Structure 1
Amino acid sequence: MTWSFSIGHLFGSDLRIHATFFLLLAWVGAAAYAAAGPEAAVVNVVFVLALFACVVAHEFGHALTARRFGIATPDITLLPIGGLARLERMPEDPWQEVIVALAGPAVNVVIWAVLVFVFGAAPDLDALANIEDPAAGFWGRLAAVNLFLVVFNLIPAFPMDGGRVFRALLSIPLGRLRATRAAARAGQAMAFLFGFLGLFGGSPILLLIALFIFVAAASEASDVQLRDMARNVAAREAMITGYEALAPDDRMGAAAAALLRTTQHEFPVLGEGGRLVGVLTRDAIFKAVNEERRGASVAGEMETEIPAIGLGAPLTEALDALYAHNRPAVAVVDRQGVFLGYITRDNIGELIALGGRDGRG
């Protein structure tokens, strides 16, 4: 995710923080300092950090449960509005999806129980009304927020946890595609309600949540439709075979010239024997030119560890590889590993928009 950076790995996932998260900390600290002085500022900043530790635990509840079903979680990102676990794919078995969706709120229930029964926090939801008041009691506020997270996440607003449970249960009689469309429409309707409440209630956080739900619901509905259409399409029918390739020792100035004379956004970088060693993206070329590094080698600017699939692999395998590895392209290779072509998100979208195989449906 743009504007995020890694702070380390935990349980096999890259833990990332979005830059805007620090704006939230600064705002919380400044508001508390202005209201009650430096001690209140420190307490409230620590409280936000503790809260987001609970959010991270929530996301790892999803991630570790998904791993039991063979689904990896490449990264988890902390945002001002919460956390986002990027699973390489969602379980297609309805009951597996229900279990993965409920695992996150279940973690918050456990945290609430520990705070109440071990730390002696008062289980008082009135603490939510004084969430910004450092005198309200640290553990009581944290327990109340965890209980709120459980209730809020179980609202059936797809793609929140409750919305995923709703989609999974709908998919039993309707099938995954129709269920996703119905859940996405319900989620977007809920987003409008959140947006209305946020606008007239003066809550910018609720407005951001509404925007996230609306966009994410549409995006996931589109992804499920794309995946459904791609099941019966092979990699050979989607791969790009007309391209200009670069060599590892080419200069970035030559890559910039290639960008101008072609319509490519990605350039395969081929080594000895026609084997792919990396992919150079348009953004990397722009960056090198803007930083006046036209003489830099392509090998130093390209993305490596590009996933590869065979000619007969289903297109859904390419989608999984693109999403799980977060790479600009997937290579299509023969049995000897020789590069034959590549697949990008854009050309998958174009193929589906044209009706599948060669535009004939």
Structure 2
Amino acid sequence: MRWSYSIGKIRGTELKVHITFFLLLIWIALGAYSTQGAQGAMVSVLFILAVFACVVLHEFGHATMAARFGVKTPDITLLPIGGLARLERIPENPRQEILIALAGPAVNVVIWLVLTGVLGAVTRFGDLQTLENASQDFWGRLALVNFLLVAFNLIPAFPMDGGRVFRATLSLFMDRIKATELAARTGQIIAFLFAFWGLTGGNPVLVLIAVFIFFAAGAESSDAVTRGLAHSAKARDAVITTFQTLSPDATLETAAQMILHSSQSEFPVLAPDGRLLGVLTRASVLARPHAEHRDEPVSKLMIAEVPGVRLDTGMDVVLDALAAGPAPIVAVLDRSGRFIGFINRENIGEWMILARR
């Protein structure tokens, strides 16, 4: 996600913070300072940090359970509206998806039990209107927030945790694509209700959450349809076999001329023996428009790590390869390992449209 910055890596998962999270801290600090002074501002910021520490633990709950089923979590991003764990893939086994979805709220239940049972915090629902008040009991407010995180995340609004449980449960009784579409529509209806509630109640955060749910539900539904079609397709069904190539010592001037006279977005860089060395993107060339770069070799800008598949490789493997790495293409090789073409995201989209006829 753009404007996100890494703050470390835990058990192979990179923890990132979106720049808007820092804006939230500044906004909270200024608001508290204006009403409660410097001490109130400090306590308020510490409280927000404690809340988001609980959110991080929630997301690592998902990641830990996913790892049990062989699913990696490349990164977790902190946003003002919560955390976002990016799983390598969503298991298609409904029971596994349910366990992964419930693992996050289960962590918040454990935190709530520790705060109430060990630290003696009291969950007072009457404090909902004054959660931002730094004079209230710190641990009590944190316990209440964790209780609310459990309740909120279990709302059946796909792709939230409750929505994923809803989708997985439907998948036990119907086709996964139909289950996803139904769960996505339900999530978008709930998003409209959230937006109405936020607009009438003057709660902009609720409106932001509604917007996120609405568009994320649509994106997840589209991805599920693509995955469903991919089960019965092979790489040969979407491979691009007509294309222009570059040699590693070709200059950016040569690449620029190719861009001007073609609609190609990615240019395979091949060795003299036909081996794929990397791929040069249109965007990387356009990012260096000045004359002093024209004589640079394309090997300097190409992406060297390009995943490769065979013609008979399943399309679902191709989709995973495109999602996993920085390369915008997947190379398609024959049985001898010779490069014969590639698949990019644009062609995947075109293939999906034609495959649904």
SS state at 2:135 partner: helix
User: Given the two structures, how large is their TM-score scaled by the length of structure 1?
Assistant: 0.93
Give, in whole Å, the separation in 2 of the partners of 1:146 and 1:296: 55
The 5 A counterparts of 1:117-132 are 117-132=117-132
SS state at 2:250 partner: coil
Question: CA 1:29–1:290 in 2, change beyond 3 Å: closer, same or farther?
Answer: farther
TM-aligned CA deviation for residue 238 of structure 1: 0.7
TM-aligned CA deviation for residue 45 of structure 1: 1.5
The 5 A counterparts of 1:29-178 are 29-178=29-178
The 5 A counterparts of 1:1-361 are 1-271=1-271, 273-289=273-289, 293-355=293-355
Give, in whole Å, the separation in 1 of the partners of 2:282 and 2:33: 45
TM-aligned CA deviation for residue 64 of structure 1: 1.4
What is the identity, as a one-letter code, of the residue corresponding to 1:210? A
What is the identity, as a one-letter code, of the residue corresponding to 1:235? A
Question: CA 1:231–1:153 in 2, change beyond 3 Å: closer, same or farther?
Answer: same
What is the identity, as a one-letter code, of the residue corresponding to 2:228? D
- Greater mean alpha carbon deviation, residues 75-84 or residues 161-170: 75-84
1:64-94 deviation digits (Å, cap 9, x = unpaired): 1111111111111111111111111111111
SS state at 2:65 partner: helix
Give, in whole Å, the separation in 2 of the partners of 1:145 and 1:120: 15
Question: CA 1:297–1:131 in 2, change beyond 3 Å: closer, same or farther?
Answer: farther
Give, in whole Å, the separation in 1 of the partners of 2:124 and 2:65: 30
1:286-339 deviation digits (Å, cap 9, x = unpaired): 322279744444333333322211111011111111123353111112334332
Question: CA 1:286–1:116 in 2, change beyond 3 Å: closer, same or farther?
Answer: farther
- Greater mean alpha carbon deviation, residues 326-335 or residues 176-185: 326-335
- Greater mean alpha carbon deviation, residues 253-262 or residues 308-317: 253-262
Gaps of 5+ in 1: none
1:213-254 deviation digits (Å, cap 9, x = unpaired): 110111111111111112111101211111122233333333
Give, in whole Å, the separation in 2 of the partners of 1:326 and 1:125: 46
What is the identity, as a one-letter code, of the residue corresponding to 2:273? G
Note if contact 1:127-1:140 (Cα within 8 Å) is conserved in structure 2.
Answer: no
What is the identity, as a one-letter code, of the residue corresponding to 2:334? D
Note if contact 2:247-2:272 (Cα within 8 Å) is conserved in structure 1.
Answer: no
Note if contact 1:330-1:344 (Cα within 8 Å) is conserved in structure 2.
Answer: yes
Give, in whole Å, the separation in 2 of the partners of 1:8 and 1:287: 29
Give, in whole Å, the separation in 2 of the partners of 1:248 and 1:93: 44
User: Given the two structures, how large is their TM-score scaled by the length of structure 2?
Assistant: 0.94
SS state at 2:173 partner: helix
- Greater mean alpha carbon deviation, residues 177-186 or residues 71-80: 71-80
SS state at 1:340 partner: strand
SS state at 1:278 partner: strand
SS state at 2:242 partner: coil
Note if contact 1:311-1:334 (Cα within 8 Å) is conserved in structure 2.
Answer: yes
Note if contact 1:227-1:316 (Cα within 8 Å) is conserved in structure 2.
Answer: yes
Give, in whole Å, the separation in 2 of the partners of 1:345 and 1:108: 37
Give identity over the alignment, percent: 55
RMSD of equivalent CA atoms: 1.8
Give, in whole Å, the separation in 1 of the partners of 2:89 and 2:273: 34
Give, in whole Å, the separation in 1 of the partners of 2:289 and 2:173: 54
Give, in whole Å, the separation in 2 of the partners of 1:162 and 1:133: 30
What is the identity, as a one-letter code, of the residue corresponding to 1:32? A
SS state at 1:102 partner: helix
Give, in whole Å, the separation in 2 of the partners of 1:255 and 1:284: 10
Question: CA 1:172–1:305 in 2, change beyond 3 Å: closer, same or farther?
Answer: same
